[in-house]
């Protein structure tokens, strides 16, 4: 059996292999501002935390690809089109459960912070140069941050 392309996935390629496993590839998209590596890390983290309960179970990963269980049923978009208005409330409840603090990978937090600092410094540099500040140093105790 050839991999069956599944609907949805938007900017990712989502297929179902001969064994019934969903294979999701995270590809670069010009129209999407978030790097596929970041999208992949976020999905992997969500599947680790919520897989098997609120989301498909994570079977494995390889580079920018997740392998997860297939859940039989209609997509949320189809339920809404069919007039099932309860999907909106259920989606809201699901989002409230998902958008709670989770322990992020330490390197992800550090990389995210350093990118933001670099970006902000680039924007503020003309002003800092004008007032005579030529370097900004952030001393972050990463051990303490990771303990939170």
* CA 77 centroid distance within chain: 20
Three-state secondary structure call for residue 5: strand
* pLDDT category of residue 137 using cuts at 50, 70 and 90: confident
Q: Is the pLDDT of residue 8 over 70?
A: no
Q: Which residue has the higher pLDDT, 131 or 99?
A: 131
User: How does pLDDT run across 15-56, given as a tens digit for each residue?
Assistant: 888 888 999 998 887 777 788 888 888 888 888 888 887 788
Three-state secondary structure call for residue 26: strand
Strand order through the sheet with 4-5: 4-5, 12-16, 22-26, 65-68, 58-62
At 111 the pLDDT is: 87
At 11 the pLDDT is: 67
For residue 6, what is the DSSP state?
A: P
DSSP H helices in the chain: 36-50, 76-81, 86-98, 106-130, 142-147
User: How does pLDDT run across 75-129, given as a tens digit for each residue?
Assistant: 778 888 888 888 888 888 877 777 666 566 777 888 888 888 888 888 888 898 8
pTM > 0.85: yes or no: no
Closest CA to 63 of 19, 24, 6: 24
Q: Is the pLDDT of residue 58 over 90?
A: yes
At 61 the pLDDT is: 93
Orientation of helix 86-98 relative to helix 36-50, angle to 10°: 100
């Amino acid at each position: 059996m050839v991999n069956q392309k599944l609907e949805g996935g938007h900017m990712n390629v989502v297929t179902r292999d001969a064994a019934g496993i969903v294979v999701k590839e995270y590809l670069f998209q010009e129209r999407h501002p978030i790097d596929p590596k970041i999208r992949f890390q976020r999905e992997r983290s969500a599947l680790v935390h919520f897989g098997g309960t609120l989301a498909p179970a994570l079977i494995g990963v390889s580079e920018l690809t997740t392998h997860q269980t297939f859940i039989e049923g209609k997509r949320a978009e189809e339920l809404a089109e069919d007039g099932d208005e309860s999907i909106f409330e259920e989606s809201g409840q699901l989002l409230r459960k998902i958008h709670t603090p989770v322990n992020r990978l330490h390197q992800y937090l550090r990389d995210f912070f350093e990118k933001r600092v670099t970006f902000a410094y680039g924007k503020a540099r003309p002003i800092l140069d004008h007032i005579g500040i030529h370097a900004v140093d952030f001393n972050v105790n990463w051990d303490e941050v990771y303990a939170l």
